[in-house]
Structures are given as structure tokens and as C-alpha cells.
Amino acid sequence: MFKPIAMSISLLGLAACATAAENHDGLGSAPAPEPFVKVSDALPLPDFIPGLGDLYVNPESLPGGPFLGYDRDGELAATIYMTPLAALEDGTSYDLDIANHTVTSTNVHYNAGHPGVDEPHVHVVLYHGSDAAERLAE
């Protein structure tokens, strides 16, 4: 059951690549504007999470996101969605709104739960830049 879900999400992420545009929405550099808040200020999480970055989220969009992942230089490197497995199994669909950011690659992986999204879920990571994954690695 998990493989078809992951494949579907991966294909959605790849489809989002075709909607790339320039950054004109003010989200390209940290701190993200309101209504986004720094995740580490709202939840017991570190400021920088390797692989995801310095995260910001609109609290009203929890648990799915989008979460904005900034690298250590404060540049947007990824948009992350945390989609609960139970919701996907129930047929919930998610619009992967990437605003005005070019998506160069995607990554989909399972997470058993963590503060803020306690239930099992899938991380859908849309990278912004060919070196974005490396910029978020450490």
C-alpha cells in the first residue's frame, strides 16, 4: 500500500516542476513573512534540521504544510509537505502549491512521527536549486 502512495506523491512533485516561475512572493529569504512562524519557536525542535533546514510554517496549514526549508545562509532551499498516511489512505488529496519557486528535484520518504506531526506521514520535499539537498544536509 505504501509504495503506490509514495509513487503518486512523487509524480505529483514531478508535475509541480513544470509550474516553475521566478520568486516574487517574498519567501525566497528567511525569515518567512507572516503568517509563517519559525517551527523551532512553536515546537520542541532544533532551529536547523539536517535534510529539511530552518523550517517555517503557517500554523493554520498544519499538519500538511507547506513547510519552508531555508539553508544556513537564509535562502529558500525546499518546500516540504508532511502528508499523514491515514489521510492519504482515506483519499485526501493535496495541492502542492509551490508559489513562485522553481522545483529542480523531489524526494519522498516515510516518517514515523515527530513533534508537530505525531502520526505516521510522508515527507514530500520539493527542492529549489540543483544544490539544495546539499545545502540542507548539514
Say yes or no to pLDDT of 31 above 70: yes
pLDDT band at 1 (very low <50, low <70, confident <90, very high): low
User: Could you tell me the pTM of the whole model?
Assistant: 0.79
Mean pLDDT of 60-85: 92
User: In sequence order, what are the beta bridge partners of 106?
Assistant: 126
Mean pLDDT of 79-103: 84
pLDDT at 39: 93
Compute the mean pLDDT over every residue in the chain, rounded to the nearest whole number. Answer: 82
Work out the burial of residue 30: count CB atoms within 10 Å of its CB; fewer than 13 is exposed, 13-18 middle, 19 or more buried: buried
Q: How far is CA 60 from CA 11, 67, 87, in A?
A: 26, 12, 17
Alpha carbons 55 and 47: distance in angstroms, whole number: 7
State the DSSP H helix or E strand holding residue 82, giving kind and residue range, or none if neither.
Answer: strand 76-84
What whole-number percentage of the chain has pLDDT above 90?
A: 54
Cα–Cα distances in angstroms (integers) from residue 45 to residues 42, 52, 67, 130, 138, in the given order: 8, 12, 14, 27, 16
